[in-house]
Amino acid sequence: MTALMLESFAAGRWVGPGSQARTIASAVTGDAVAMAGSDLDYQAMLDHARTVGGPNLRAMTFHDRARMLKALATWLGERKAKLYELSLHAGCTKADSWIDIDGGIGTVFVFASKGRREMPDGHVYVDGAVEQLSRNGTFIGQHIATPLQGAAVHINAFNFPVWGMLEKLAPALLAGVPAIVKPATATSYVAEACFRMMIESGILPDGAVQFIAGGTGDLLDRLTPQDVVSFTGSAATALMLRSNPHILRHSIRFIAEQDSLNASILGPDATPGTPEFDLFVKEVVKEMTAKAGQKCTAIRRIIAPKPVEADLIDAIRAKLSKTVIGDPALEGVRMGPLASQAQVRDVLEKVARIGTEAECVHGDPAAFDVEGADAEKGAFVPPMLFRCADPAGASAVHETEAFGPVSTVMAYDTLDDAVALANRGGGSLVMSLITHDPAVARQVAIGAGAWHGRIYVNDRDSMGESTGHGSPLPHMTHGGPGRAGGGEEMGGVRGVMHYMQRTAVQGGPDMLTAITGMFVPGSRTVETDTHPFRRYFEDLAIGDTLRTSSRTVTMEDIEHFAHFTGDTFYAHMDEEAAKANPFFPGRVAHGYLLLSFAAGLFVDPAPGPVLANVGLEGLSFQKPVSAGDSIRVALTVKRKTKRTDTYGEVRWHVVLTNQDDETVATYELHTMNAYRDVT
Ligand code: NAP
């Protein structure tokens, strides 16, 4: 193929390779695949993000942006075949590309869905509950989050050109922050193709995304405290970039996802012959060979009970011997080359370092078979397994990340020893534990949690549906302490928060209702002439309230409800026993009876805009109700969220009070209400 001329996308236009362009070689054949490196005006890019992209994105609500992400993921999904094709040059088998391409698109879908389910259809994200800061509730507190007003600079690693770009873009765009993407040069032709599809879709507003094919020049020196750098790559590059004095001086957010010496522990119960032993071997071999071991989450240290060490090594070696290495385009090839010759040199240098403390028990980089490709021209290495006889006394095996199909077996005596070895990674992205014993899982999680961003426990019961040691999931946080960079990404809304500022707002209830767009108890309410159940979604305003008449609860009601439902709990039926209970003055009404009476008081029965009651949240019973007490209800519109083309969700703040105006119960009721104007 003729080499692709990769373009950057800066301030709304494509810019071709410039004076600093360099050639990128195919990992399989060594032939030139692309040229990358543009001369760019970085200040103009930042200005474009700040003055065009940011305002465009912030004019949209969280739900608008979530819908945009869904459309984008759908668009990319329909065009992904082209990305699979290009990915072959990076040495990826179909399975490797699936992790990168479908994994990346799937991540965008998850953020799109979480944005609509867990964030408001507004501009302010409410973080946690209202804090009562005063006796009478006239001065209260609420944490909110709003999007940063700068740009997100995403610097990505070479191993996942699509997933790496999309897993950072999805939360930034959902937050409302424009991004400048800088992929690793080695595989930037795959990232550029994906990025080009995004621009061609026309789905993103102007300025929302820009792309750098090549270096970042002095971009980082031009950032402000409203910008964020999210970096994925080696610890050495992270250290260099994050210690930039400009970044330090201005407290510019810097998220680092760097390399990690991830461990996998085989539980003491998982002896040969158990499903867990076989599962462990399978996961280890998969992690060594998927993406030719070029995964930040790959298992680098295999920690096994001493009595089974020899059996384990035999089992892993047997599987590794069957791994066909070669041209990833060929059917039957299980492991492709590394991404570049530079990676081969790097891996072999690290392997030599590991070799000073561990013996190689499988894989010789000077003698191995390669299917359908020239072993000299392509960036091929075999899987290499080491055994370290004295892991407690060793250091290189715990510190050296050979970013390829390389892993070291180390044996332990006690489970505490195993945990101590896992923690020697100095902070890791993930550790796994294969055990069928919940007590082992508990001991390991407590001992190793502080050193790990993620703990993956698997056994015969979960293996059918488990997602694999190496797969970060958009729902769960990805990142780890110490050596792993100290950063965190994804984890649903947690990942979106990295691009927002959390602000503690203090003031009166009316102020907080106006700021959050959500009714805060204590703020002004409005009683309208028409019953709220007779009003369409559009016609309900935050704070609209219905105050019902009251109803007296009788002992007959309590008896009837008890026998009708079968709930004859002593607190409702037995005066003596109820009195003996510290919570009750004597027989009291069932909480569910009160809820039912409340519904009877506030519903307007005829068919109308209210379509369904879909649930309630935060129910709390605060004062018992005895026979003779009377209750009434205040129902207030708390929050409205459009859900479909025909109806939206209304959340109601419901308060039940007694004849003395004391609060008996509170909860949030959720209904679906029809729109007046169906579009
Ligand atoms: P790298 O060499 O550190 O490069 C990472 C990124 O930094 C690339 O985009 C690179 O661009 C860029 N970069 C390098 N020098 C720079 C500079 N002076 N200014 C601005 N950008 C600069 O890492 P890599 O080789 O691509 O990736 C492999 C490493 O990433 C492994 O150690 C792996 O463990 C780690 N990784 C971590 C995670 C994670 O989530 N924690 C995920 C994947 C990979 P160029 O390519 O243009 O030099």
Q: In sequence order, what DSSP letters do the residues of 446-514 get, joined into one string?
A: HHHGGGBS-EEEE-TTTTTT---TT---TTSEE--SGGG-S--EESTHHHHGGGEEEEEEEE-HHHHHH
DSSP H/E element including 446: helix 438-448
Provide mean pLDDT across the span 419-438.
97
Whole-angstrom Cα distance, residue 426 to residue 377? 36
Q: How far is the CA of 157 from the centre of ligand 1 (A)?
A: 4
Domain positions in the chain are 4-258+494-500, 263-471, 525-674
Residue with the smallest CA separation from ligand 1 atom 39 is 257
Instruction: Express each pLDDT in 387-402 by its tens digit.
Output: 999 999 999 999 999 9
Atom of ligand 1 nearest to the CA of 215: 47
How many angstroms separate the Cα of 599 from the Cα of each of 294, 509, 632, 660, 668?
59, 27, 10, 21, 13
Query: Would you give the DSSP letter of residue 384?
Result: E
Residue 209 has which token pair?
């995304």
Q: How far is the CA of 508 from the centre of ligand 1 (A)?
A: 48
Q: CATH classification of 525-674 is 3.10.129.10, yes or no?
A: yes
184 lines ligand 1 (CB under 6 A): yes
233 lines ligand 1 (CB under 6 A): yes
Residue 485 has which token pair?
């960079």
125-134: b (≥16 Cβ within 10 Å) or e: bbeeebeeee
158 lines ligand 1 (CB under 6 A): yes
Q: How far is the CA of 230 from the centre of ligand 1 (A)?
A: 11
491 lines ligand 1 (CB under 6 A): no
157 lines ligand 1 (CB under 6 A): yes
Q: How far is the CA of 184 from the centre of ligand 1 (A)?
A: 6
Residue 258 has which token pair?
């760097």
Whole-angstrom Cα distance, residue 540 to residue 532? 7
167 lines ligand 1 (CB under 6 A): no
Instruction: Express each pLDDT in 469-495 by its tens digit.
Output: 999 999 999 999 999 999 999 999 999
Q: Is 559 exposed, middle or buried (0-12, 13-18, 19+ CB in 10 A)?
A: middle
Edge-to-edge strand ranges of the sheet holding 500-507: 125-132, 140-147, 500-507
β-strand partners of 656: 633, 665
Atom of ligand 1 nearest to the CA of 296: 34
Closest Cα partner for 233 from 168, 170, 151, 175?
Answer: 168
Instruction: Express each pLDDT in 545-577 by its tens digit.
Output: 999 999 999 999 999 999 999 999 999 999 999
Question: Would strands 32-36 and 125-132 be described as parallel, antiparallel, or unpaired?
Answer: unpaired
Alpha helix stretches (DSSP H) within 497-554: 509-516
Which residues are marked as active site?
Answer: 257, 296
Q: What is residue 376's predicted lDDT score, i.e. its pLDDT?
A: 86
Q: How far is the CA of 250 from the centre of ligand 1 (A)?
A: 23
433 lines ligand 1 (CB under 6 A): no
Statement: residue 2 has pLDDT above 90: no
Statement: residue 13 has pLDDT above 60: yes
Closest Cα partner for 418 from 313, 309, 275, 257?
Answer: 309
Closest Cα partner for 490 from 505, 477, 503?
Answer: 477
Q: How far is the CA of 237 from the centre of ligand 1 (A)?
A: 7
Provide mean pLDDT across the span 344-369.
95
Dump the DSSP string for 538-565: GG--TTEEEE---EE--HHHHHHHHHHH
- Provide the pLDDT confidence category of residue 529 given band limits of 50, 70 and 90: confident
Q: Is 206 exposed, middle or buried (0-12, 13-18, 19+ CB in 10 A)?
A: middle
CATH no. of 263-471: 3.40.309.10
400 lines ligand 1 (CB under 6 A): no
Alpha helix stretches (DSSP H) within 323-437: 341-355, 396-399, 415-423
Whole-angstrom Cα distance, residue 181 to residue 184? 10
Q: What is residue 323's predicted lDDT score, i.e. its pLDDT?
A: 93
Provide mean pLDDT across the span 102-127.
97
How many angstroms separate the Cα of 241 from the Cα of each of 3, 55, 155?
31, 28, 10
Atom of ligand 1 nearest to the CA of 233: 30
Q: What is the pTM of this model?
A: 0.93
| Percent of the chain with pLDDT strictly greater than 90 | 95
Q: Chain-centre distance of CA 677, in angstroms?
A: 36
Q: What is residue 631's predicted lDDT score, i.e. its pLDDT?
A: 98
Whole-angstrom Cα distance, residue 326 to residue 304? 31
Whole-angstrom Cα distance, residue 290 to residue 99? 9
Q: What is residue 528's predicted lDDT score, i.e. its pLDDT?
A: 86
Q: What is residue 679's predicted lDDT score, i.e. its pLDDT?
A: 57
38 lines ligand 1 (CB under 6 A): no
SS3 (DSSP) at 668: strand
Q: Is 645 exposed, middle or buried (0-12, 13-18, 19+ CB in 10 A)?
A: exposed
Question: Would strands 431-434 and 263-266 be described as parallel, antiparallel, or unpaired?
Answer: parallel
List the Cα angle 377/383/328 in 5-degree steps. Answer: 50
Our mutation pick for probing the ligand 1 site, out of 156, 166, 222, 296, counting the most ligand atoms within 8 A of Cβ, is 296
156 lines ligand 1 (CB under 6 A): yes
Superfamily of chain region 4-258+494-500: Aldehyde Dehydrogenase; Chain A, domain 1 (3.40.605.10)
Q: How far is the CA of 231 from the centre of ligand 1 (A)?
A: 8
Statement: residue 115 has pLDDT above 80: yes
List the Cα angle 428/430/433 in 5-degree steps. Answer: 120
Instruction: Express each pLDDT in 619-651 by its tens digit.
Output: 999 999 999 999 999 999 999 999 999 999 999
Provide mean pLDDT across the span 328-344.
93
Q: Which residues contact 117 (CB under 8 A, 6 or more apart)?
A: none
Instruction: Express each pLDDT in 595-613 by its tens digit.
Output: 999 999 999 999 999 999 9
Atom of ligand 1 nearest to the CA of 188: 46
